[in-house]
Amino acid sequence: MDRMITVMVNGEERCLNYSVEVMFNMTEKFGNIRAALDVLSGEDKASFEAMRWFLVSMVNDAELYRRDAGYDHLPMLKEEDISLRMSPLEYAVLKSAIVDAINKGYMRETADENQEIDLGLEELRAKKAKAGD
């Protein structure tokens, strides 16, 4: 659970997990991560809908992870639990936490948790290793 981000949702502490399942679902919904982040970065209803989609997806993914690890069950989050009536500050905090969780999902889990993966470099390394076979 080290790669999860903790955030307050409706006054309750919840975890966000950007897993492969969330990534695949995001790709189906938005096309790619860049398009998803472009929508999320806006200041309109489409941005709110993207925030709500990511929040519900990642909270529920984290909850499934917690349950698999033997933790007590928390209720699953539903879209209707996330209202447009939230404050702009709460909205900004949630969007920031979502971006942090996505970034953490792409980071390598090592002793140095601040070390990021250069996906392009990793792809080149994989191609080079395959070419050497």
* pLDDT tens profile 56-86: 999 999 999 999 999 999 999 999 999 999 9
**pLDDT value of residue 3:** 84
- Comparing 6-10, 25-29, 31-35, 119-123, the range with the smallest average pLDDT is 119-123
pLDDT over threshold 60, residue 132: no
Q: Which of 74, 75, 19, 29 is nearest to 49 (CA)?
A: 29
Is residue 9 within 8 Å of 55, Cβ to Cβ?
Answer: yes
Mean pLDDT of 8-34: 96
Predicted TM-score of the model (pTM): 0.79
Question: b/e per residue, 26-47, with b = 16+ CB within 10 A?
Answer: beeebeebeebbebbeeeeeeb
Mean pLDDT of 1-18: 91
What would the pLDDT profile of 73-121 be if each residue is shown by its tens digit?
A: 999 999 999 999 999 999 999 999 999 999 999 887 654 555 566 666 6
Helix/strand/coil for 100: helix
